[in-house]
């Protein structure tokens, strides 16, 4: 069982993961077991592994050292690669601490390029943002129209006409609404006209 500092290097884009372990062989096996299961804790390394496959990655030992020196030497290698401008898959730039820290915006962009092989342009992001805003505006307009429709009130005159129509006080005649009294007068006048016509024939 040997302890030391190791790296996992992507031979296609030369991005590197740096780590330290008391048992290097066991650590190597653990890394690749998790990667194959798509359950690795490092999402950057996992995404790259999913994209480039196992053949693109090499695990090798940078140096052997005592376990008391692991953190110190791991930090040395992390700093050395950063000074050379190498993109690291490490979530944290501080050795032995992988929680609560994030890559800089520039590093995230570089890693996105390395993993996906493409860059989302500012123009594409702007258009996407505008499209989303347009959807939100349309939803807001529809909501307000719906609320306005629900809150619409008829005038007193309109209410009265509706009430009269519903109570039978108004009737339809050839598409027009007439009061029942008017209809009765028209009926009487028509009867009188027919009576006069019959009287003339006699």
pLDDT of residue 18: 97
pTM for the complete prediction? 0.50
What whole-number distance in Å separates Cα of residue 57 and Cα of residue 34?
14
From residue 188, give the alpha-carbon distance in Å to each of 16, 65, 142, 175, 185.
103, 119, 53, 21, 5
User: Domains in the chain, please, with CATH?
Assistant: 4-116 (3.40.1440.10), 156-201 (no CATH)
* Three-state DSSP string of 92-142: CCCCCCCCCCCCCHHHHHHHHHHHHCCCCCHHHHHHHHHHHHHHHHHHHHH
Check pLDDT > 90 for residue 37.
Answer: yes
Note the pLDDT tens digit of each residue in 103-139.
455 655 665 665 554 444 555 566 555 655 566 656 6
pLDDT in tens, 149-200: 555 455 676 666 666 655 554 444 444 445 556 667 777 877 777 777 667 6
- Measured CA to CA, the distance from residue 103 to residue 115 in angstroms comes to 15
């Amino acid at each position: 069982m040997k302890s030391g500092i190791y790296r996992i290097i992507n031979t296609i884009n030369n991005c590197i993961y740096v780590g330290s372990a008391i048992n290097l062989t066991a650590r190597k096996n653990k890394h690749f077991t998790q990667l194959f299961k798509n359950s690795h804790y490092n999402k950057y390394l996992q995404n790259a592994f999913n994209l480039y496959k196992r053949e693109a990655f090499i695990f090798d030992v940078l140096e052997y050292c005592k376990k008391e020196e692991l953190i110190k030497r791991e930090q040395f290698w992390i700093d050395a690669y950063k000074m050379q401008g190498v993109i690291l898959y490490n979530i944290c730039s501080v050795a032995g601490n992988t929680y609560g820290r994030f890559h800089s915006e520039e590093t995230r962009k570089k890693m996105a390029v390395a993993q996906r092989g493409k860059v989302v342009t500012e123009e594409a992001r702007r258009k996407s943002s505008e499209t989303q805003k347009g959807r939100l505006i349309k939803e807001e307009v529809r909501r307000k129209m719906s609320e306005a429709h629900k809150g619409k009130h008829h005038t007193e005159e309109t209410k009265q006409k509706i009430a009269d129509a519903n109570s039978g006080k108004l009737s339809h005649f050839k598409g027009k609404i007439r009061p029942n009294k008017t209809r009765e007068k028209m009926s009487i006048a028509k009867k009188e006209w027919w009576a006069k016509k019959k009287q003339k024939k006699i």
